[in-house]
């Protein structure tokens, strides 16, 4: 049971890597194709929106690396808790004989508190990362529209919706 618990918690990384790695590769081509489509309507102003998106990539990569480090720490804490719990259950007769169960209960609870505190911090970091990732395209599109409008051009409804759709499609590959 202990081996299965540790294996399932540690192998989730491979599942996530296999799920998201193709998006990294395809995302570069999607960004170029999306920029070409929007370029037809907004010309050089497309570079403002695409540039804004690309400027956020390094920060998103740092967020992913930090969450990977957080996940490793969480896995280690979970493994420690599972190991201690399993050892306690295996030695329950000895613990009862010497009335050590409260000592081990406190030890397990201390590890769990550490694990939960760390998970709270990691959840906040993940939420901030997702909030940035899902607002980047909207901000980039907005900046492009503002620059285009304030340089004397007229925004056409069809061009605005089409480019907004393309930028939101790029969200699939950049977040």
- 172: number of Cβ within 10 Å: 12
42 pLDDT more than 80: yes
What value does the CA radius of gyration of the chain take, rounded to a whole number of Å? 25
Running DSSP on this structure, what letter comes out for residue 152? T
Q: What is the pTM of this model?
A: 0.65
Integer Cα distance of 6 and 8 in angstroms: 6
Running DSSP on this structure, what letter comes out for residue 155? P
Average pLDDT (70-98) is 76
Give the per-residue pLDDT at 10. Answer: 60
Confidence of residue 78 (pLDDT cuts 50, 70, 90): confident
Give the per-residue pLDDT at 142. Answer: 93
Confidence of residue 153 (pLDDT cuts 50, 70, 90): very high
Give the dihedral sign, CA 64/69/74/75. Answer: positive
Average pLDDT (116-136) is 82
Integer Cα distance of 51 and 141 in angstroms: 11
Integer Cα distance of 87 and 108 in angstroms: 11
Give the per-residue pLDDT at 145. Answer: 95
Burial class from Cβ neighbours inside 10 Å (0-12, 13-18, 19+) for residue 171 reads middle
Integer Cα distance of 169 and 137 in angstroms: 9
Average pLDDT, the chain: 81
Give the per-residue pLDDT at 76. Answer: 80
Give the per-residue pLDDT at 81. Answer: 80
* CB-based burial, 66-85: b 16+ in 10 Å, e otherwise: eeeebbebbbebbeebbebb
């Amino acid at each position: 049971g202990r081996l299965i618990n540790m294996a399932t918690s540690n192998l989730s990384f491979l599942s996530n890597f296999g799920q998201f790695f193709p998006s990294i590769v395809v995302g570069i081509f999607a960004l170029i194709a999306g920029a070409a489509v929007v370029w037809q309507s907004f010309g050089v102003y497309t570079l403002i929106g695409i540039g804004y998106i690309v400027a956020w990539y390094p920060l998103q990569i740092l967020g992913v690396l930090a969450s990977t480090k957080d996940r490793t720490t969480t896995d280690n804490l979970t493994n420690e808790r599972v190991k201690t719990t399993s050892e306690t259950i295996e030695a329950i007769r000895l613990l009862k004989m010497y009335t050590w169960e409260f000592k081990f209960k406190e030890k397990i609870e201390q590890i769990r508190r550490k694990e939960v505190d760390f998970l709270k911090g990691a959840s906040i970091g993940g939420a901030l990362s997702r909030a940035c990732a899902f607002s980047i395209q909207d901000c980039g599109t907005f900046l492009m529209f503002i620059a285009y409008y304030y340089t004397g051009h007229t925004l056409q409804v069809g061009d605005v919706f089409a480019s907004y759709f393309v930028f939101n499609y790029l969200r699939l590959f950049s977040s």
